[in-house]
Amino acid sequence: MTETYSMKAMTWRGGNNFTSDQVNIPSVIDNTCLIEIDTAGICGTDIHITQGLFPSPENVVLGHEFSGKVVEVGKGVDKNLLYQSITAQPVGGCGACENCKKWSLSHCEKNQRRAGAFSEYVLVDAKGTYIIPDNLNIENAALTEPAACSLSCVEMLRKPLSKSTAVVIGNGLLGLLTIYFLKHMGIDKIISSEIAQSRRSLAKKFGSDITIDPSTTDLAEVVKAETNGYGADIVAEAVGNPNVIKSCFDLIRPRGQMLLVGVHPKGSYLPFDLYDLHFNEISIFGAFGAGNSFERALNHLPNMPLETIISGRYPLDELAVAVEKSANAEGIKFVIGPND
Ligand SMILES: [Zn+2]
Ligand SMILES: [Zn+2]
């Protein structure tokens, strides 16, 4: 770096408290690059952390969904990456450890999460960076990580036979992305369930065929009517509420697949009869993180109806306000512009 050596970063201090701190700009080391953050998204996980529902150490800088510009590259990094607009996986993935080989790159055992994106700059492994395609703007490119989480989840499923039906409960960002990827996978009919009217109209744009409001319509009745009483092939829960999981069981066909997209609070348990699970041969897929799907997700984004997905953009100092807005489910995705 030339003249400035310090930057602003928001440190999480527990609850919904953050302090604005002046800290050193991280120095690039081999195989890393320094990113000037353009956009950092607030994730459901960040909200869960501030609510004590997801374990995280305190006094760290959060933020793992971001886009920005490469301003410095370390030894071993292609110089052409310099000044490119990129998005990056929070964890690069070494590709050689057991987790990388047998599980996913986002679960790398050498996981070097260097810092969070709620700061002006962040250091990342060059291996995890991806240049943003021309037909995607840099703000929307920050949606790559959540899109990868949803895609990684959907990619675990066995593709159902023809006349397939999927149900997606909860149409926040991850629910919408799940609708999109299920449609892309070739599911014939998607039924989505969401209380908020604005989210229901987005669900239609993302590929839902039937959108229902569960406060006025019985989802189980609709699923029954649409599947000749047999049940849906796939039921995705994108709320993160164990009580909703219980209701999923009534919607699913024998040998159906259940997808846990939403993040459940630690300490919650499966709320249904395990005999029924066994007898009906139901598969349950848990999914966490971007898996190996980051680049594929990035390539899908330009084709998605993202015009109204960013509900608000805040300066770095107003991170707590943006987290609160996100927690109130008042929109879809709130972002921070640390260098605005
Ligand atoms: Zn996330
Ligand atoms: Zn690894």
Ligand nearest to the CA of 292: 2
Instruction: Give me 208's structure tokens.
Output: 């839902």
- b/e map 314-325, b = 16+ CB within 10 Å: bebebbbebbbb
In this prediction, residue 162 has a pLDDT band, given cuts at 50, 70 and 90, of confident
Which pLDDT value is given to residue 113?
A: 66
Ligand nearest to the CA of 99: 2
How far is ligand 2, taken at its centre, from the CA of residue 145, in Å?
18
Instruction: Give me 259's structure tokens.
Output: 């997808």
How much of the chain exceeds pLDDT 70, in percent? 98
How far is ligand 2, taken at its centre, from the CA of residue 104, in Å?
8
Instruction: Give me 180's structure tokens.
Output: 């999109």
pLDDT tens digits, residue range 294-335? Answer: 999 999 999 999 999 999 999 999 999 999 999 987 789 999
Q: 317 near 329, Cβ under 8 Å?
A: no
What is the number of residues in the chain?
Answer: 340
Does the pLDDT value for residue 268 go beyond 70? yes
Instruction: Give me 195's structure tokens.
Output: 């209380």
Assigned fold of 6-145+290-337: Quinone Oxidoreductase; Chain A, domain 1 (3.90.180)
How far is ligand 2, taken at its centre, from the CA of residue 302, in Å?
29
Q: 151 near 181, Cβ under 8 Å?
A: yes
Q: Where are the domains of the chain?
A: 6-145+290-337, 157-286
Which pLDDT value is given to residue 106?
A: 85
Instruction: Give me 114's structure tokens.
Output: 């260097």
Ligand nearest to the CA of 93: 2
How far is ligand 1, taken at its centre, from the CA of residue 144, in Å?
9
Q: 223 near 217, Cβ under 8 Å?
A: no
Q: Measure the N-to-C terminal CA separation of the chain; round to a whole number of Å.
A: 20
Residue scoring higher pLDDT (249 or 91) = 249
Q: Rounded mean pLDDT of the chain?
A: 93
d(CA 270, CA 69): 43
CATH class given for the domain over 157-286: alpha beta
Which helix (DSSP H) or strand (DSSP E) does residue 334 occupy? strand 333-337
In this prediction, residue 3 has a pLDDT band, given cuts at 50, 70 and 90, of low
How far is ligand 1, taken at its centre, from the CA of residue 326, in Å?
13
d(CA 254, CA 276): 10
Q: 73 near 106, Cβ under 8 Å?
A: no
How far is ligand 2, taken at its centre, from the CA of residue 88, in Å?
16
Ligand nearest to the CA of 106: 2
In this prediction, residue 2 has a pLDDT band, given cuts at 50, 70 and 90, of very low
- Which residues are 260's β-sheet partners? 237, 286
SS3 275: helix
Which pLDDT value is given to residue 4?
A: 57
Ligand nearest to the CA of 152: 1
Range list of H helices, the chain: 44-50, 98-102, 138-141, 144-154, 173-185, 197-205, 219-226, 242-248, 274-279, 294-300, 319-327
